[in-house]
Chain A
Amino acid sequence: MANVTGSSEPQRDVGASFGTAATEYAADRAVGAPSEGGPDGVAGRSQLSLAFRRFLHHRMALVGLTIFVLLVATAFIAPHFWKWGYADITPEFATSPDAAHPFGTDTIGHDLFAQVLIATQTSLKTAFIVTVIATILGTVIGAVAGYYGKLADAALMRFTDLVLTVPLLALLLVLANILSKQSGNYLYIAIIIAAVFWTYLARLVRGTFLSLREHDYVLAARAIGARDRRVIFRHMIPNAMGPIVVNATLTVANAILIESALSFLGLGIQPPEVSLGSLINNGQGAATTEWWLFAFPSGVLVLIILAVNFVGDGLRDALDPRQTRVRA
């Protein structure tokens, strides 16, 4: 009674709270579980499982997901078993695809298959980092702006506008030029891209929060004594998960494209590291004579983007609560 500190929630920092919101959601469900195995059918129909079912019925999304998973698995597992390393110089150079080199070799003698595998890895890792950083940053900034409104909203959104007004490619070129010369590390490239990409999500989440804020459950949560932080992270963000997740998939695709564009311009990943963009750049000069140098990296790039976009499309349909139609 005297001990009404108000919160049984451990002191976490803002970013961590967000990161765990979704997993806690699942964990909290599990907390209740020990009481029973439960007659099925009652507990099973959560929003999430409904969404999952809808996703499974979305054929293109499933195809996209399968392709994406296969690509990821291949990119990360195959290099361990492939006879050539991505930096190895083979005795054959400029050979067209054959049994020994399924993607052919370049003019120096690199095995293109080994290079594409590593390049795909680099691109995926970059995209992953961009997505994580941009999603967390964008969600938190958008949530705070949308929840508090007034001054916080004005300050954060004007800052967001400011970042948005900067020509994206020009900024990336300048920053990449400075940073990548130092190390050529994909991590830097990822951070630079994320520094711009969070703005889109921040605007989206802010808009979502402006409408969520008016919901009675927000008032109800405050009425049982919930702090702002709890209201934002435990009550509102889970309700905004749909748009956030969909935006994240779009970010994956866009990050891969931007990274490729940067590398294509020679400002992204630096040799001897390879990314899909730098491979395409290398191959473009020989597109008519040694077509494989251009075709395979580009093909993989297109495949990834398409797969991710299909998944995003499926998620958007699945997470939309008004969507009741179940596709055959």
Chain B
Amino acid sequence: MDESQERLLDVDGLTVAFPTDEGIVQAVRGVTFSLEPGKVLGIAGESGSGKSVTSLAIMGLLPRSARVAGSVRFRGRELLGLSERALEEIRGRRISVIFQDPMPSINPVYTVGWQVAEAIEMHQDVPKRKAWARAIELLELVGIPRAAERAESYPHEFSGGMQQRVVIATAMANNPDVIIADEPTTALDVTVQAQVLEALKTAQEETNAAVIFITHDLAAMAGIADEIIVMYAGKPVESAPTDEIFYRPRMPYTVGLLASLPRLDTDASEPLRPIPGSPPQVIDLPPGCPFTPRCPLARAKCREEEPELRKFGEGHLTACHFAEELEQKGGEEIFAPIAVDTEVLSG
């Protein structure tokens, strides 16, 4: 990350807080990353880890009650605090977003072709007929069969996977520099996930955009991302090139995520090893590492002091006091399989 030539998107110390009746929800607690042109950055984490809020903050689409601090620079230009007018020119044109669930993010009263064409017309001064032709081209590109005909269909006549392709076509309509894909496959059947990922790849190749790929599905990320950031409780806890994350995870949470994946290369009778407990409430976080209650390696220091991200290897950052210990241990040793866990509970 030091030797990055041209920085497209620079997020620095981004924090997002929502005041609520129960207290202040610290949804994002300091996210820092930079995105290079044409690269794919994966952001992984469980529900509530602040992944989606981060993407909305970059787009300036958070509700007005959100308190956003830090810095988001796009090609050197600060986006936070920019006027709505200026942001409208960036949204969809320079940075576009693909939402998790395609069905509700397409307007039910318009044909899909209309919606793709709308995105084109909004940012390019082209006649309607040309925008429509381009929309059909885009729909073809993302793999919609008989695109010219299907463009006149309504969203409810499409399957979930086809709808997500429409959303992807809309996102790439203006050749954006950055595409934020916010869990683009989560709401879809496993069988179509791969196809949609393929469409996303096509979109990236076609527009040469950098992609921020947000998901909780590490497996989906493996084949796409150049670099991965793992988030926990609103904060990045590990960041490294994709292979590093998969082969040399240095944060117990990442280790746990990887260990909980079902694997083909092990004995089928091997039980899954889930991470015990659930993610913390981000209201009034106690001091110390937020992963402490679920961490098998936790000790006194973890409860007192929250570890900062520190450099561990080439391009590898981790936020764990005891990252060194993980060099000797694999996930199988750290996280207990389900069966053992219940025995412990009953005994």
> Which residues does A use to contact B, with CB under 8 Å?
3-8, 25, 28-29, 31-36, 38-39, 42-43, 45-47, 150, 215-217, 219-228, 230, 234-235, 238-239, 241
Contacts and interface: CB of A to CB of B under 8 A. Distances in A.
A28 B118 CA distance: 10
Contacts, number: 124
A217 B115 CA distance: 11
26 contacts: A4-B89, A6-B85, A6-B88, A6-B123, A8-B122, A25-B109, A25-B110, A28-B114, A32-B114, A35-B148, A36-B148, A36-B149, A38-B149, A42-B153, A43-B153, A47-B109, A217-B104, A217-B106, A217-B107, A217-B108, A223-B99, A224-B91, A224-B119, A225-B89, A230-B122, A241-B109
B154 interface: yes
B195 to A, nearest CB: 21
B92 A225 contact: yes
Given A8-B125, A46-B154, A226 B88 contact: yes
Contacts of B156: 47
A215 B101 CA distance: 11
B96 A224 contact: yes
A224 B121 CA distance: 11
B97 interface: yes
B151 interface: yes
A169 to B, nearest CB: 39
Interface residues of B, number: 49
Contacts of A7: 122
Contacts of A222: 61, 91
B284 interface: no
Which one of A45, A47, A150, A216 has the greatest number of beta carbons of chain B within 10 Å?
Answer: A216
Interface of B: 59, 61, 64, 84-85, 88-93, 96-97, 99, 101, 104-111, 113-114, 118-119, 121-126, 128-129, 132, 136, 148-154, 156-157, 167, 170, 173
Contacts of B92: 223-226
Contacts of A223: 59, 61, 91-92, 96-97, 99
Nearest to B116: A224
B249 to A, nearest CB: 33
Contacts of B91: 222-225
A269 to B, nearest CB: 40
